[in-house]
Amino acid sequence: MVSGASRAVGDAIMGELAIRAAVGAVLDPELPLITIADLGILRDVSVDGTHATVTITPTYSGCPAMEAIAGEVRAAATAAGATAVDVVTVLSPPWTTDWITETGKQTLAAHGIAPPCPRSDGPVPLTLSVRCPQCGSLDTRELSRFSGTACKALYACKSCKEPFEYVKAH
């Protein structure tokens, strides 16, 4: 037989898991094919009873999507059972494309967006070309340093002639 105290603890754990899952599933408004968890901007979710505190980091300072993300996070956490939600934006350490999960990189590539190359802590690597997410060719060229958002560039593949976006490594 399960005691009332054990049931309450189990319910609290299930509630916390539901809130974490709901927040992690929020889509990025500028790349609505990838979750904020897979993009690496979701830093932490802590739950105390029905109060959730969610910590996020923008892809760059001044990112206009942060307000929309915070609203979606609040809505998701509330729908999952949180009665109070605080969204905290943290700028340090700054977000890096290294925080994009493997699933996130695969999702980007599957949708025609070239994922960033890995960063290193040593000398800055020189990117001579970006692999086309459509055909895999390295025979590509940059059309514009900026695309639909400041964190992406616009490229074209000389082999398959398709344009594509590239998430810039930083």
Chain segment 123-132, per-residue pLDDT in tens = 666 667 899 9
Q: At CA 29, angle to CA 64 and CA 120, rounded to 5?
A: 75
Characterize the bridge pairing of strands 163-167 and 113-114. parallel
Instruction: Write out the CATH class of domain 4-89.
Output: alpha beta
Whole-number pLDDT of residue 149:
81
Residues of the chain with CATH 3.30.300.130: 4-89
Q: What is the mean pLDDT of residues 30-52?
A: 94
Q: Is residue 5 scored above 70 in pLDDT?
A: no
Average pLDDT, the chain: 87
Q: Is residue 56 scored above 90 in pLDDT?
A: yes
pTM: 0.77
Structure confidence by residue, pLDDT tens digits, 131-167: 999 999 999 999 999 888 888 899 999 999 999 999 8
Asked if residue 99 lies in contact with residue 21, where contact means CB atoms within 8 angstroms, the answer is no
Asked if residue 104 lies in contact with residue 111, where contact means CB atoms within 8 angstroms, the answer is no
Closest CA to 153 of 137, 138, 136, 170: 170
Q: What is the mean pLDDT of residues 74-81?
A: 96
Whole-number pLDDT of residue 21:
96
